[in-house]
Amino acid sequence: MFRYTPDNLSEGRPVVIALHGCTQDAVGYGTNSGWIELADRWGFTVVLPQQESANNANGCFNWFEQADTDRDTGEAASVAQMRQRAIDDAAADPQRVYVSGLSAGGAMTATMLATYPEQYAGGGIVAGLPYRCASTLPDAFTCMNPGKDQTPQQWGDLVRAASAHEGARPTVSLWHGDADTTVAPANMRESVEQWTDVHGTDTTPDVEDTVAGYPHAEYHDGSGRAVVETVTIPGMNHGQPVDPGTGEQQCGQAADYMLDVDVCAAYQMGTTWGLAAQGR
């Protein structure tokens, strides 16, 4: 567990858990994604879990292993413990905790949203996969590309079986490049089916517009609240969108799998979650 807490952070602030992708490390991902600079700007704690090579030689979170994706076991339990430690140490607001990740970290984000839904207000899955798409390593490669086609109810049932939770569910933000050759873009479609079904809505967008010029869609629940959103980046391969610079909406640094496409996913997610509106 790595953690970044800005100086003089007051009590009752939010927490963001940021999960790196394969071959990445916690600090590099936190810096390059923009989450650390946004923590300074807006005032929140960033929790940065880091995979160990003893657990996965490529540094991937084991999103395809049942022992790591069940509630109260393995890696999912470790991340849940890190969340609680951060809340306790910073006297943070447990109602304003968010989780986001890239690729394997995106798939583990789906795991946390499924297994501990009561712990998160929202999640951001970047170039990730649906929860429980795979249960073995060979199956994981099939999920990644070309992907699996299941019904919304089949996907939703996998999430509902992950915990006994019956209350409100965290909102889900999905980001994917339509030229992703590592995790096929079909996975975003299947993730939309999974999370809209969990929220009790359909797969027809209620809003279609743009975010920073890129196609954006929202799926609303019965009260009109956006519970799932997608942002598609045309021409982008596998990675997380960043927008280096000093402008208000800019954040992140270009690196391997951190792609400068003139939009910072972390900024956009943080804005949607109300982190910018809260002030420092």
Provide the terminal-to-terminal Cα distance of the chain, rounded to the nearest Å: 25
Mean pLDDT of the residues in the chain: 97
Q: How large is the average pLDDT for residues 47-74?
A: 97
Q: How large is the average pLDDT for residues 36-50?
A: 97
Measured from the Cβ of residue 209, the count of other Cβ atoms closer than 10 Å reads 9
pLDDT score recorded for residue 276? 87
From 113, 263, 269, select the one nearest 191 (Cα to Cα).
Answer: 113
Q: What is the pTM of this model?
A: 0.97
At residue 276, φ and ψ (nearest 5 deg) are -75, -35
Query: Over 70: is that where the pLDDT of 280 sits?
Result: no
Give the Cα separation of 163 and 239 in Å (integer). 30
Q: How large is the average pLDDT for residues 226-238?
A: 98
Query: Over 90: is that where the pLDDT of 278 sits?
Result: no
Q: Which residue type occupies 220?
A: H
Query: Over 70: is that where the pLDDT of 28 sits?
Result: yes
Split at pLDDT 50, 70, 90, the class of 107 is very high
Query: Over 90: is that where the pLDDT of 279 sits?
Result: no
Query: Over 80: is that where the pLDDT of 136 sits?
Result: yes
Q: What is the CA radius of gyration of the chain?
A: 17
Q: How large is the average pLDDT for residues 87-100?
A: 97
> Per-residue pLDDT tens for 154-178?
999 999 999 999 999 999 999 999 9
Q: How large is the average pLDDT for residues 249-267?
A: 98
130, 155 Cβ separation under 8 angstroms = yes
Which residues, 6+ apart, have CB-to-CB distance to 57 below 8 Å? none
Measured from the Cβ of residue 129, the count of other Cβ atoms closer than 10 Å reads 30
CA 32 from chain centre, in angstroms, equals 15
Topology adopted by domain 2-272: Rossmann fold (3.40.50)
| Strand intervals (E) in 27-161 | 45-48, 97-102, 122-126
Encoding tokens for residue 208?
């279609």
User: CA 150, 154, 155, 157: dihedral to nearest 10 degrees?
Assistant: -170
pLDDT score recorded for residue 251? 98
From 53, 49, 45, 41, select the one nearest 20 (Cα to Cα).
Answer: 49
> Per-residue pLDDT tens for 179-213?
999 999 999 999 999 999 999 999 999 999 999 99
Query: Over 90: is that where the pLDDT of 38 sits?
Result: yes
**Lookup result for tokens 């300074």:** 40
3-state secondary structure of 257: coil
Which residues, 6+ apart, have CB-to-CB distance to 141 below 8 Å? none
- Which of the residues are catalytic? 103
Split at pLDDT 50, 70, 90, the class of 15 is very high
What is the DSSP code (8-state) at residue 255?
B
Q: How large is the average pLDDT for residues 94-123?
A: 98
Query: Over 60: is that where the pLDDT of 84 sits?
Result: yes
